[in-house]
Amino acid sequence: MMRSMTLTVLAVTAMASALQTERVEANQQQASSAEENHAVVPQCRIVEWWFARHAEKIGEMSKGDIGLLMIGDSITHGFDGEGAKVWKEQFEPRGAINLGFGGDRTQHVLWRLDHLPDLKKAPQGAVLLIGTNNICWGSDTPKQAADGVQAVALKLRDLYPDTKVLVLAVFPRRREPDHAHRKEINELNSYLPALLKDMKNVTLLDIGPKFLDEKGHLSAEIMPDTTHPSERGYEIWAKAIEPELKKMLNE
């Protein structure tokens, strides 16, 4: 009897030890994954304006039906500035909300999406442009940044399964096609078709060539600082995605 009880205790102890080992290994794997690619791990930015803008957008989203979410970094944020006229004409009538935040990377968008209000009705469509800050001046490889874009698209699909999502390939930067930043962007974009191809309600569109001349040059007229569009640049953007928007919004 005593021997049986001892064996039982030993068995339970061994099982508990094995489970603990599994938990430790799982935590180590998670930590390792996060360390290897933080572009896929939600992260907030401890900046006052960033939280204030996020709170403002929560308020906007809580007011009623949303036709379209425009999600991204400073390039999308710029619809509040250089692109304001285009926004008023092309996006405001569609019930669009600008969720562009200057300086954001994929991990910051993931955090913001995790902290949005519950909606009675999902948006009809969403346009996503993100990833340029992960590379170029950022610390991620093009593949890590592309995985981050995929993570954001997956998050949108999970939040709003019936919403049509248009993922835009990262826009070109710098004047000439042989610039190192342009090459990083091209590499990031090359991964996106395979990463997004099996996602329901997700479409990938590369409008980058619309901003370039026949030699691949990015003019100051289109992007004065080689990254952010002028009003003309925003007009090109809006016109390039118009056919997809009409399909997404059933117009």
Query: What's residue 152's pLDDT?
Result: 98
| pLDDT tens track, the chain, 251 positions | 434 433 333 333 333 343 343 333 434 444 444 458 999 999 999 999 999 999 999 999 999 889 999 999 999 999 999 999 999 999 999 999 999 999 999 999 999 999 999 999 999 999 999 999 999 878 899 999 999 999 999 999 999 999 999 999 999 999 999 999 999 999 999 999 999 999 999 999 999 999 999 999 999 999 999 999 999 999 999 999 999 999 999 99
The pTM assigned to this predicted structure is 0.86
What region does 201 belong to: left with phi over 0, alpha with psi -120 to 50, or beta? left
Same domain, 26 and 58: no
Cα–Cα distance between 18 and 96 in angstroms, integer? 52
Domains of the chain: total: 2
Question: Which domain range does residue 18 map to?
Answer: 1-36
Query: What's residue 136's pLDDT?
Result: 87
Q: C-alpha dihedral over 21, 24, 27, 32, to 10 degrees?
A: -100
Which residue type, as a one-letter code, is found at position 28? Answer: Q
Query: What's residue 65's pLDDT?
Result: 85
Same domain, 77 and 181: yes
Same domain, 11 and 67: no
Same domain, 17 and 54: no
Same domain, 22 and 61: no
Query: What's residue 4's pLDDT?
Result: 40
* Tokens 């009409």 sit on residue: 246
Same domain, 190 and 144: yes
Same domain, 112 and 28: no
What is the separation, in whole angstroms, between the first and last Cα of the chain?
78
Same domain, 69 and 153: yes
Same domain, 28 and 150: no
Query: What's residue 36's pLDDT?
Result: 80
Cα–Cα distance between 72 and 77 in angstroms, integer? 7
Query: What's residue 35's pLDDT?
Result: 58
Same domain, 122 and 222: yes
Same domain, 66 and 17: no
17 Cβ contact partners less than 8 Å away, ≥ 6 residues apart? none
Mapped onto helix, strand or coil, the DSSP state of residue 238 is: helix
Maximum Cα interatomic distance, the chain, rounded to a whole number of Å: 89
DSSP annotation string for 136-202: TTSSS-HHHHHHHHHHHHHHHHHH-TTSEEEEEPPPP-SSSTTSHHHHHHHHHHHHHHHHHTT-TTE
What is the CATH number for 229? Answer: 3.40.50.1110
Sign, Cα dihedral of 185, 190, 192, 193: positive
Same domain, 16 and 53: no
